[in-house]
Amino acid sequence: MADIPPILLVGLGRMGGAMLAGWRERGLAPSVAVDPAPQAAALAGPDLAVVAAPEAIPAGFAPALVVLAIKPQAAAETLPAYARFSAGAGFLSIMAGRTIGGIRALLGGASAGAAAGAVVRAMPNTPAAVRQAITVACPGPGVGPAQRALCETLLGAIGEVAWVEDEALLDPVTAVSGSGPAYVFLLAELLEQAAIAQGIPPALARRLARRTVSGSGALLEASAEDAAALRVAVTSPAGTTERALQVLMAPAAWPDSIARAIAAATARSRELAG
């Protein structure tokens, strides 16, 4: 028996595909995905019909939830076509920046009735591809216990889930964890380049950089210690690590640039709501 009821998935890009893979591992009831990209059809199977447009959704298909996994810039032109599902299904949005109120408006929530347009807004991150995501979700007006539980199940299939009641927190969440994998990948990229510049062969430089980042992440995950304590434990007085950290922790270096980067990403998330 499938653990996950019929889902209408709008968007089969990187994140939509990762979520689908996680759902299939738990057992997915016959569902439908909408994506016009030619490669999306390859994800079809006995549990999933893939169609190119909402008009092609099979007649009579009644999803338990509609999952919006499209780019936020495409919301205005895409969402109105799914308003017809508002009366019978809730919506789970993973679009960056798009507010619950804005999504409800695009779905015709103001005229569809008080029970229509129940939206959960969530921000997962790309480690979903290996079931190591961290997702923060916020329930909107009208989201009942059953819809929240279903969203918990869907998001839990790709990693950890946390909930907040203040939707405004999702903008800095997007900046920290939603965009965060890119910052980590940049660190690995720069470590690799610096190693090569110091004469380390490229293949070994890549291996050192990637394993250092992934191993440090695993240690951080497994440890109850604060990240600062783990940093101090690696830093011998007057040693090589201390010398490097004097550069990285200078006021205009990492402390300032990380703070400015998170602020910039948070601001952009808010801009995307428009």
Q: What is the average pLDDT score of the chain?
A: 94
Amino acid letter, 77: E
Whether residues 121 and 201 share a domain: the answer is no
Q: Which of 1-15, 97-111, 215-229 has the lowest mean pLDDT?
A: 97-111
Whether residues 57 and 161 share a domain: the answer is yes
Q: Would you call 150 exposed, middle or buried from its count of C-beta atoms within 10 A (0-12, 13-18, 19+)?
A: buried
pLDDT (tens digit per residue) in 77-104: 999 999 999 888 999 999 999 999 999 9
109, pLDDT greater than 90: no
Length of the chain: 274
Whether residues 20 and 143 share a domain: the answer is yes
Q: Is residue 175, in this structure, part of any structural domain at all?
A: no
- With a CB cutoff of 8 Å and minimum separation 6, the contacts of 128 are 15, 18, 19, 22, 135, 158, 159
Whether residues 140 and 225 share a domain: the answer is no
Q: Is residue 173, in this structure, part of any structural domain at all?
A: no
Q: Would you call 270 exposed, middle or buried from its count of C-beta atoms within 10 A (0-12, 13-18, 19+)?
A: middle
Query: How much is the average pLDDT of 231-248?
Result: 96
Could you give the angle at which helices 202-222 and 180-197 cross, rounded to 10 degrees? 140
End position of a domain, from candidates 106, 138, 167: 167
End position of a domain, from candidates 167, 200, 215: 167
Give residue 61's domain range: 7-167
Count up the domains in the chain and report the number: 2
Whether residues 91 and 213 share a domain: the answer is no
113, pLDDT greater than 90: no
The pair phi, psi for residue 209, each rounded to 5°, is -65, -50
Whether residues 234 and 134 share a domain: the answer is no
Residue 230: give its domain's CATH number. Answer: 1.10.3730.10
Whether residues 92 and 70 share a domain: the answer is yes
Query: How many C-beta neighbours within 10 Å does residue 133 have?
Result: 26
Query: How much is the average pLDDT of 236-248?
Result: 95
- With a CB cutoff of 8 Å and minimum separation 6, the contacts of 234 are 241
Whether residues 21 and 125 share a domain: the answer is yes
Residue 27: give its domain's CATH number. Answer: 3.40.50.720
Q: Is residue 174, in this structure, part of any structural domain at all?
A: no
Whether residues 155 and 216 share a domain: the answer is no
Residue 243 confidence (pLDDT): 96
End position of a domain, from candidates 167, 199, 222: 167
Q: State the DSSP code for 226.
A: -
Q: Is residue 242, in this structure, part of any structural domain at all?
A: yes
pLDDT (tens digit per residue) in 26-46: 999 999 999 999 999 999 999
- In the chain, the N- to C-terminal Cα span, in Å, equals 42
Query: How much is the average pLDDT of 125-147?
Result: 96
Whether residues 196 and 267 share a domain: the answer is yes
Q: Is residue 144, in this structure, part of any structural domain at all?
A: yes
Amino acid letter, 229: A
pTM, two decimal places: 0.91
pLDDT (tens digit per residue) in 115-132: 457 999 999 999 999 999
